[in-house]
Amino acid sequence: MKVKERIAALRAAMKANNIDAYIIPTEDPHLSEYPAACWKYREWISGFTGSAGTVVVTADKAGLWTDSRYFLQAENQLAGTCIDLYRLKIEGTPSISEFLCKELKDGMSVGINDETFSIASADNLRNALARNGISLASLPTLIDEIWVDRPAIPDSAVWQMPVSVAGRSTTEKIRDINRMVKEAGGDFTVVSALDEIAWIFNIRGNDVAYNPVAVAYACISPSESVLFIDKEKLPTEVAMRLQNENVKIEPYKTLGNYLHNLPARSKVVVDEGATNAAILGNLPEGSTVINRLSAANYLKSIKNEVLPQSRLIRRDCNDPLLYLA
């Protein structure tokens, strides 16, 4: 399918779902800047390969919003498509919400894949649209239905980051995370940022280009620590080490069911700017969200005797002794 055909297929799916506009950002469910191939929705729908940009499609218009790093690239890659270029931070360029409020009428609706929007950004968009009587709907599989040759979720094996290099064990890191969650008044925390998961569990992977991370989620509480990652990705020595550190392994796609079955009125600590909105929708009834900077994000910034402040951070994905500061 060419770009025009993809846009046409998306519009047909929008019409079938009573959606008047659809927004496709760059981010994946982990809000990564560089998503794995299976989550390059924006690149697939538009043909634009830059690392930052958002596509908006309505019944009769389509646009790509990107910044000045990519103006020339976007002009070239969008040429001959039905997608217009909107240059961010240039006088006269409307924001996405301004564009939608101008193009849509009271009572219309905008669809998003809430796995690719942070809680904070989804709330901001919902509020901006609501002022003009426009609703926001979650349709996470809308593009999946038309992307027939979509790549599979990465399945490369992970490897261990030895404590001799990392400086601290997973057990020690989880203990400190639970302490910070308790101090914030929470019962548990959900971790979705891939660099934080790599740091907590002392693992590295090759699931994302230029980033030594593995696709996974985590839920950490005093009662149990769960790493949501497909077991096929864990070599025996890694699985045994995690088991010895009391980490429970569950399939990657089961996070939503796990959260839904937690006790009602739970208190979860998450960073609303770094956690996807779909996670919020899976929390048990009556849950309270406590918005805090991720404990892992804070803790991994603290150096130890093995990782002193002066040590250089290597980013070569072929080096098994990579660490994430």
The residue behind tokens 């009391």 is: 246
Tokens for 269? 């600590």
| Model confidence at 317: pLDDT above 50 | no
51 Cβ contact list (under 8 Å, min separation 6): 26, 33, 34
Task: Check if the beta carbon of residue 222 is closer than 8 Å to that of residue 144.
Answer: no
- Is the pTM higher than 0.85? yes
Taking CA atoms, 115 is separated from 8, 26, 126, 166, 282, in Å, by 23, 11, 15, 31, 11
| Model confidence at 321: pLDDT above 70 | no
Taking CA atoms, 154 is separated from 41, 44, 63, 107, 209, in Å, by 15, 17, 29, 40, 11
Q: What is the pLDDT of residue 319?
A: 43
Confidence of residue 312 (pLDDT cuts 50, 70, 90): very low
| Model confidence at 314: pLDDT above 80 | no
Q: What is the pLDDT of residue 310?
A: 36
80 sits in the region (left: phi over 0; alpha: psi -120 to 50; else beta) called left
pLDDT tens digits, 65-86:
999 999 999 999 999 999 999 9
Least confident of 10-14, 44-48, 210-214, 305-309: 305-309
Confidence of residue 325 (pLDDT cuts 50, 70, 90): very low
| Strand segments (E) across 109-238 | 109-112, 135-138, 159-160, 188-191, 203-204, 217-220, 225-228
pLDDT tens digits, 215-267:
999 999 999 999 999 999 999 999 999 999 999 999 999 999 999 999 999 99
Q: Above pLDDT 70, what percent of the chain?
A: 94
| Model confidence at 323: pLDDT above 80 | no
Residue 230 sits at φ, ψ, to 5 deg, of: -65, 130
Count CB atoms within 10 A of the CB of residue 122: 21
92 sits in the region (left: phi over 0; alpha: psi -120 to 50; else beta) called left
138 Cβ contact list (under 8 Å, min separation 6): 111, 112, 113, 114, 277, 278, 281
Taking CA atoms, 262 is separated from 151, 190, 219, 265, 295, in Å, by 32, 12, 11, 9, 21
Q: Above pLDDT 90, what percent of the chain?
A: 89
Tokens for 274? 């770094």
Q: Between 59 and 301, name the one with better pLDDT.
A: 59
pLDDT tens digits, 111-161:
999 999 999 999 999 999 999 999 999 999 999 999 999 999 999 999 999
pLDDT tens digits, 169-183:
999 999 999 999 999
